[in-house]
């Protein structure tokens, strides 16, 4: 499998398209640089979008900065993540 990385129209975001020889439907992911790493913030597959939110404010989020906060699925259901003070996942709650 190979990837085409396409610079996005959004600040610090990139799209990549997974390619295979006989791939009919492509998956697209929008990436954003958070805490010196690229994180998937949006994933599109077969016309459906899943969104990923992270703790992005270094001054208010403290030790949780860069960690996954919430996932929103194509059917609008969500999962919200909470963490112990040491950064280990404490709970995943369906909203």
List, for residues 18-58, the tens digit of each pLDDT value: 555 444 445 677 888 887 888 888 888 777 899 999 999 88
First to last CA, the chain: 35
Distance CA 19, CA 91 (A): 35
Q: Which segment of 5-9, 47-51, 83-87 scores lowest on mean pLDDT?
A: 5-9
Residue-range definition of the domain harbouring residue 32: 2-94
**No. of H helices and E strands in the chain?**
1, 8
- When divided into structural domains, the chain yields a total of 1
State pTM to two decimals.
0.70
């Amino acid at each position: 499998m190979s990837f085409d990385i396409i610079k996005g129209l959004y600040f610090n975001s990139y799209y990549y398209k997974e390619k295979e020889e006989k791939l009919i439907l492509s998956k697209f992911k929008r990436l954003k640089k958070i805490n010196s790493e690229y994180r998937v913030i949006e994933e599109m597959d077969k016309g459906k979008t899943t969104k990923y939110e992270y703790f992005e404010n270094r001054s208010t989020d403290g030790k949780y900065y860069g960690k996954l906060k919430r996932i929103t699925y194509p059917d609008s259901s969500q999962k919200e993540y909470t963490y112990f003070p040491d950064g280990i996942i404490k709970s995943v709650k369906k909203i």
